[in-house]
Structure 1
């Protein structure tokens, strides 16, 4: 949550510290990814039972929580991912309809399976996926933007390709788009963390961690492996939250 996170040690004000029952990397997944999903869906999603929720990059660090929390709200969850392995993971955490965009045409699948559109989109990819999400909204649909990883390395992904048509698309559906930045909701942070920790302790929430065991050069250990972990994230190979072990028992996360 503070600058200088890629370090072996750091100092934070005590008021920002959250007590955890033990020292394990799973808890790192909740600090930003878990709380982002929890607070954004609670404040902006207005989820009700039976609604259809589309989660992009659903097998990633924050997508995994959007899927599980939407299921706890008794919604029907669709998740996009990039491999059969990720699709299997999504099914294991309750996703009703995984879509492997490397093997299927997401737009065609959504149009066929959900002709009336989806009620909520939890979007973190940007670019064409954002455009697709907008087009897939149902009447009174809500799209929550929590990131745009496709544009982090370049200028692309910052704005929808068809930005000029966006007002008309939203107007025709009485739909809405809202951005979410965790720093603007810090007053709810402690409550979110404690709720998520309790859910995890009770076995109600899976916190998937990717330590890099399946990366070409193996597990991410030491500061020198951070650049490998970042590259691994950008090529979309991770399942769950990437965690880099710095010097036991100190760990960092991406």
Structure 2
């Protein structure tokens, strides 16, 4: 065992075993306790590689201290002690964290109203294992690279249950794009889309974090894919990943284009914008069309979190077309998660999947580096400036590949 491996609560690299009997040691004059044998196994409760991984005694993390859809108002940066992993946990030193539209829903307390501040922010991260519990050490070791989907990702280090960690070949931000964005598109289209070759699929916000994957998976299923976006640059990107008809809605009328070019309607809509875009999507459905609601970002920053929707005639519209609207929330489909991740990682390794990452290189204050850059990254995404998945680099790469 490396001398760099220290017990968090004893700083001993080896167990101390000793025995004795009541009396006085004739050489030192030290009074001895009654005869007993003690095996100090505290070192084995968790393994921490402080030296090899440069673990400081404290770290920064983002904490929701006030419920608000205004991320900057709701979240603050705090300095806390580096946490110790439990028996079945990993301590992951985050290299990259992902930004999601739903980060604002989380900071507004919309997912679980019973949870009150303070609570940790962030959903997904990727990095290196720098500490782990005894049970977790049966599957992992210090230096392993893992990704995870769970709360508390906006931190320099995060404790992750070993059973929820996803082993990855390397700490690449592309793998991070798969955790929420890729998995949402993969599972939603597979379970709710019922895609058939030759069908027409509309993806809204197609050049965003999850839209880019919906475009690719629909194309792989043999569908004709339409993607909405806001710039010509994004339209070019969509073409490069197989989108048949990118529509820059700032340059052409989306409703008129769909009505003119697709008079028979749209078979499947992958919708994440909400409001008027959702209304248009409903009106554009073909007979037996399926509309998958994976979000409604246009309303997240409002007090209610829900954009206005004129749904008074919705039952009639669905009935007339035998159409359906289906909601998708990733935590309800975790039984599909492992298979989705495994499949996407293999596709990426084979060059069959593009995972576009946006580090904010073109942002006013530059690339998103450091935990405090999360605030800028959230603003950047909500301004609609991102092309691909918005990712923040929390820390530089480790200089050590220390192993237990």
> Which range, TM-score by smaller chain?
over 0.9
Greater RCO structure (CA 8 Å; 6+ sep)? 1
Partner of 1:169: 317
Query: What is the SS of the residue equivalent to 1:122?
Result: strand
Does the 8 Å contact 2:202/2:266 carry over to 1? Answer: yes
Q: Does 1:136 align with 2:300?
A: no
Q: Does 1:59 align with 2:215?
A: no
Does the 8 Å contact 1:212/1:220 carry over to 2? Answer: yes
Q: Does 1:83 align with 2:219?
A: no
One of 197, 203, 212 as aligned partner of 1:49: 197
Displacement of 1:19 after TM fit? 1.1
Partner of 1:184: 332
Larger radius of gyration: 2
The structure with the largest strand share of the pair is 2
Partner of 1:2: 150
Gaps of at least 5 residues in structure 1 are none
Partner of 1:205: 353
In structure 2, distance between residues paired with 1:232 and 1:47: 33
Does the 8 Å contact 1:130/1:160 carry over to 2? Answer: no
In structure 2, distance between residues paired with 1:199 and 1:71: 14
Larger CA deviation: 196-205 vs 218-227:
218-227
In structure 1, distance between residues paired with 2:212 and 2:181: 9
The structure with the largest helix share of the pair is 1
Does the 8 Å contact 2:360/2:366 carry over to 1? Answer: yes
Partner of 1:68: 216
RMSD: 1.2
Q: 1:124 to 1:207 in 2, by over 3 A?
A: same
Partner of 1:103: 251
In structure 1, distance between residues paired with 2:236 and 2:200: 20
Q: Does 1:240 align with 2:388?
A: yes
In structure 2, distance between residues paired with 1:51 and 1:9: 45
One of 338, 347, 362 as aligned partner of 1:214: 362
Does the 8 Å contact 2:348/2:354 carry over to 1? Answer: yes
Query: What is the SS of the residue equivalent to 1:11?
Result: strand
Q: 1:156 to 1:116 in 2, by over 3 A?
A: farther
Displacement of 1:223 after TM fit? 1.4
Query: What is the SS of the residue equivalent to 1:130?
Result: helix
Residues 132-180 of structure 1: CA deviation (Å, up to 9, x unaligned):
1101100000000111110110157726521111111111111000000
One of 121, 125, 139 as aligned partner of 2:269: 121
Displacement of 1:6 after TM fit? 1.2
Displacement of 1:249 after TM fit? 3.4
Query: What is the SS of the residue equivalent to 2:167?
Result: coil
Q: TM-score, normalised by structure 2?
A: 0.61
Q: Output aligned runs, 1:14-25, within 5 Å.
A: 14-25=162-173
Larger CA deviation: 164-173 vs 241-250:
241-250
Gaps of at least 5 residues in structure 2 are 1-148, 399-404
Residues 63-108 of structure 1: CA deviation (Å, up to 9, x unaligned):
0000000000000000000000000000000000000011111000
Partner of 2:178: 30
